[in-house]
Structure 1
Amino acid sequence: MGVEGRERTRELESGAQQLSGQLGKTIQRLRKAYNLSLSELAEQSGVAKSIISQIERNETNPTLATIWRLSQALDVSIERVLASAEDEPFLEKSNRRDTPILVSEDGKMRLAIIGWIKTVEWLQWYDISADPGGVLESDAHQRGSVETLSVLEGDFEVEVAGVVQTARTGETLRYRCDRPHVVRCVGDRPGRATMVCILKAAVMD
């Protein structure tokens, strides 16, 4: 390893020690953004479930190698994992590389997680790209949750508890998502939409 490489390693190790207080919260937020359990993240990263749990509770100072494995499993840069929430600028920019993408089971719907990672426990925001016929089936979220689907291109339909409603370009559907629900891209052209999920909506209590 060259001089620059050694300097880089020392900087990251120093950052890991200084920011350990924020690291646990960051790992937990990223894990929840992917809807991963501790066991699933452990399997994908090769880091023991007990270690991840300790990191999230700030009960241990992980090694740089451990942080690197977790960042790879969570598909974000190691700098993002080590970033201190207190030092983040008010004006923040994310690039495509750091934007997590979820894919439906049929592979025809792609959800880019564009919401702020800090709000993922109660507010989630997605940019949806769908091929014709794409289907996204979702389990019930916590009680009182409400979802909003705003169609930018194409036609979508939403089914909740046997009730189906269609929205075209420029239209918005709002529905309870605390029960199983299905979003479909209908018609013969691709679709684009934004989806916002409020996970603790007091209006539905």
Structure 2
Amino acid sequence: MSADDIRESIAERLRASRKEREMSLDKAALLTGVSKAMLGQIERRESAPTIATLWKIASGLDISFSSFFASKGGSDFRQVPFPNDRDMAIRVVFPFDAVTRMEMFEVTLTNRHHQRSPAHRFGVVEHVVTISGVLDLIHEGRVHRLGPGQSHRFHADVAHQYRAVTDTVVFQDIVCYT
């Protein structure tokens, strides 16, 4: 998926979500904490949001994160590098399922990237499993160091962080919505 594909997919999902709810950019800005100007730029494909901004939008509009990357056929989930987060790539392993209320990602951090994630909606729980490298998961003031095969479950409705201790770390993240 190219940077242009990412912008287009995100723009289409944001616009469709607002239209389904008959929601103005002003109202979307209030719900997401993302400025009206930025939301407009995203919809016009003039700007690609950071991963943190995209999570704020998903949480505020009560939509799944993976819905921003669904292909037209719904099953092509390649690794997505973000233009504004070049040291982080995400691959949707399982898109959001309305029955299980879950989605699963494989996340790759390079160059000892430190990703700060805003709080998700109340009740969201993440399950993180490190595949390779060493990851510091920072949550509620505590650092949880995870090596290959190690896991941690936490409530993601507060700000949290992922920090690559090694040059590259790959981990799986299962997000469960209430």
Please tell me the TM-score bracket, short chain as reference: 0.5 to 0.7
For residue 176 of structure 1, report the CA deviation from its aligned partner: 1.3
Distance in 2, Cα, partners of 1:180 & 1:135: 13
Does residue 99 of the first structure (1) align with residue 78 of the second (2)?
Answer: yes
Note if contact 1:114-1:125 (Cα within 8 Å) is conserved in structure 2. Answer: yes
Note if contact 1:141-1:199 (Cα within 8 Å) is conserved in structure 2. Answer: no
Corresponding residue number in structure 2 for 1:194: 172
Q: Between Structure 1 and Structure 2, which shows a larger proportion of strand residues?
A: 2
For residue 76 of structure 1, report the CA deviation from its aligned partner: 3.0
Q: Secondary structure at the match of 2:148?
A: coil
Distance in 2, Cα, partners of 1:104 & 1:159: 24
* TM-score between both structures, scaled by the size of structure 2: 0.57
What are the residue-to-residue correspondences of 1:1-80 with 2, within 5 Å?
31=13, 38=18, 40=39, 42-44=43-45, 76-77=71-72, 80=73
Alignment partner of 1:182 out of 161, 165, 178? 161
Alignment partner of 1:112 out of 71, 74, 91? 91
Percent sequence identity is 17
Note if contact 1:105-1:136 (Cα within 8 Å) is conserved in structure 2. Answer: no
Q: CA RMSD in A?
A: 3.5
In structure 2, relative to structure 1, the CA distance for the partners of 1:42 and 1:112 (3 Å cut) is: same
Q: Secondary structure at the match of 1:31?
A: helix
For these two proteins, the number of residue pairs brought into alignment is: 126
In structure 2, relative to structure 1, the CA distance for the partners of 1:107 and 1:75 (3 Å cut) is: same
Q: Secondary structure at the match of 2:45?
A: helix
Distance in 2, Cα, partners of 1:109 & 1:146: 21
CA deviation string 1:68-100 (max 9, x = no partner): xxxxx96734xx27xxxxxxxxxxxx44xx537
Structure 2 unmatched ranges of 5 or more: 1-8, 19-24, 26-38, 47-67
Does residue 125 of the first structure (1) align with residue 104 of the second (2)?
Answer: yes
Give 1 or 2 for the bigger CA radius of gyration: 1
Note if contact 2:131-2:149 (Cα within 8 Å) is conserved in structure 1. Answer: yes
For residue 154 of structure 1, report the CA deviation from its aligned partner: 0.3
